[in-house]
Every structure is written in C-alpha cells, then in structure tokens.
Structure 1
C-alpha cells in the first residue's frame, strides 16, 4: 500500500496504523471541532473528521507538489454518547471524575467518524461500538484519573488502559474503534482506492 496522509496527532491512531502496516505521514492543521446542534449523533464525528481531512488536504496541496499532494488523506474523530448526550474530553480532574461516574454501570456508545479524501472522491463512514462499564467505585475512578490523567480522551478513559482492563463488562462492536480508529474498516476502504 502507498503512503497515506494521516490528519491526526492521536498516538493511538498512529499505533493502530503501524500495527496494520499502513505507511503514513502525519500532517495536521488546526480545525474547528464544533458541530451543528441538530446533527444526528452518528454524523457528528464524521462532520469533525471531514473538517480535519479538508484542512490537511488543502495544506498539502498548497505546500507540496507532485506525488504527496495526490496521496489519500485520512482523518478521524471519536465521540462518546451517553443517553444521546455527547461526552467530550474532560476539561480538568473534577470533570474527568464526573464523566466516569456518569458512565459507571451504564452502556454508552463510542462513535468514530472516518473521512478519506482521494482526488475528488470522498469515503466517509461512522463506526459504532457499545460499551458497558461495571459499577465503578469512587476509589477506582479517582485512582484511574490521578494515575492515567485521561484529559485528552473522549469519555475520560482509554479502553486499553487499567480502567478498561478492570472496569469494562462488555463491548459490542470493534474494540479498536473504542481506541479511536476502526482500523480494519479503514484498511478495507484504502484497498479500494489506494491498492
């Protein structure tokens, strides 16, 4: 597979693409991550990912010439939804603790939107995984937040960290989607446009 442009600084997305042996170069531009209030929940992450993808593509086309400007651009965004409420990244320690208390003992959805731009074509999809936490004690939540400081993570947790190992009762869907990228689905899409 040819090298792609990854419009994300997420260490987890980079790691998943490395595991899948997809060659990539990271090029990220700052973008607005707001979204229309009436947007369906499954479309929010795609809306934000689309903005990221177009910003990176526009930069590549203006700053580089030749082959690099022709490479597919892949962008993704992950949100957590609890009872139709979008749970963002925590703003501080107290907010992280509040978020995890709200997720404790309940099912929530992790939705990752992916947008791939290639030439004038766009491939976009959202992958949904349902996650159920056990009832978490306050001691567990505080321990996790203080040790792992999950302030850059939607829903204030990472499934591959301690809280995922001990606190998650079940998942329905793609495990890697919860990490931030439904990588097998991305690879399938890339094979159709970037053999």
Structure 2
C-alpha cells in the first residue's frame, strides 16, 4: 500500500484552489499539471452525465503524456436549476442574474471526477448535492458579486464564501462536493486503485 514502490504518483489537473486544499487536507501528495481543455458538452446529456463527461474529457487530454506510474485526477462541477446548467458567468451582470434565479430556491450541484491511471485504468463517477438558498435581496447579491467576483465558479457562487454563510440554509449531500470535490468518493476510489493507504 503506502510503502509500495508501485503506488502511483498523483497529478491534479485543476487550477481550483478549493480542490488543491481538499486534496492536501486528505494528506495526499500531488503535482499540479494544467492545460487548456474545451468545456463544451453534447446538449443531449442528462445533468449527472454532463459532469462525468467533462471530467473524462479533461482526463483524455492528459492521457498521451501520462507515465505508467502516474494517476491524473480531473473534475468538473456544474450547478443545475431545473433542467438548466449554470456554468461560470461571463461577467458580473450574468453572475447577478444567475444568483437572482437561485435565491429562494433549491438547486443541484454535480461534481464529476475522473481518475485515469497511466496503465490505462480509468474510473469515472459523480456526486450530487442539493443546496437550499434562502431568499436574497438584490443588494445582497450585488454586494457578493462586487466583493467576491465569483466569475470562476459554476452558478456564480462558492459555498465557502460569504454567500454560503448567509444564503445556504440546508444541504442534502456532501458539502465538499459543492466546494468542487467529493473527497469521500475520491478517497474510496484511490484506495481501490492502490493509490493511497493508511
């Protein structure tokens, strides 16, 4: 297990500081590797399939360069309101509009994860969390967008930010999944792959 010479070297293919924090808090050592990957997806996919598709699509971009003893972790988080997928807002105005739609309602957050081993083994999974927002005023939303500029976040918010403290009334599922990585599932799958051990 942990002292085996065959334990793969972990690669985190993400620029997200939240994902870096969560993997570090698991006690895992990893290397960051980044490249630009198109994040569009086929429109016919079901909501849970979108997050898994994007995670696997990202991993495929790293596959040609993976050494046999490397394992890349890719992830993608989407926010869904009814049947609409709310991606990262393009500007502050769109962020405000997204939050006006989310306020006072429940929505779903899906994070898809792909673990791709250099030997060709691949695991793709997703986790879902239902998030309940209390009603928010326009002033509260504009304050959050202006102060925290959540343009790099799906759905225009981060649960770990100010808005998470004042708006989220209830979660059904993993809080860490809303942050961007369902760490309980990641740990479980890494154990199965022999990538971690305690």
State the TM-score, normalizing by the size of structure 1: 0.93
Take 1:82 and 1:94, find their aligned partners in 2: how far apart are those partners?
A: 18
Residue 120 of structure 1: CA displacement?
Answer: 1.7
Take 2:149 and 2:178, find their aligned partners in 1: how far apart are those partners?
A: 18
1:42 to 40, 48, 73: 48
Residue 108 of structure 1: CA displacement?
Answer: 0.4
Residue 59 of structure 1: CA displacement?
Answer: 3.0
Q: CA RMSD in A?
A: 1.1
1:158 aligns with 2:158: yes
Q: Does the CA contact (< 8 Å) of 1:29 and 1:52 recur in 2? A: no
The one-character-per-residue Cα deviations of 1:137-159 (angstroms, maximum 9, x if unpaired) are 01100110000000000000000
Counterpart position of 2:143: 143
Counterpart position of 1:181: 181
1:60 to 44, 58, 66: 66
Gaps of 5+ in 1: 62-68
Q: Which has the higher helix share?
A: 1
Q: Does the CA contact (< 8 Å) of 1:12 and 1:179 recur in 2? A: yes
Take 2:139 and 2:47, find their aligned partners in 1: how far apart are those partners?
A: 32
Counterpart position of 1:130: 130
Q: Does the CA contact (< 8 Å) of 1:28 and 1:56 recur in 2? A: no
Take 1:57 and 1:135, find their aligned partners in 2: how far apart are those partners?
A: 44
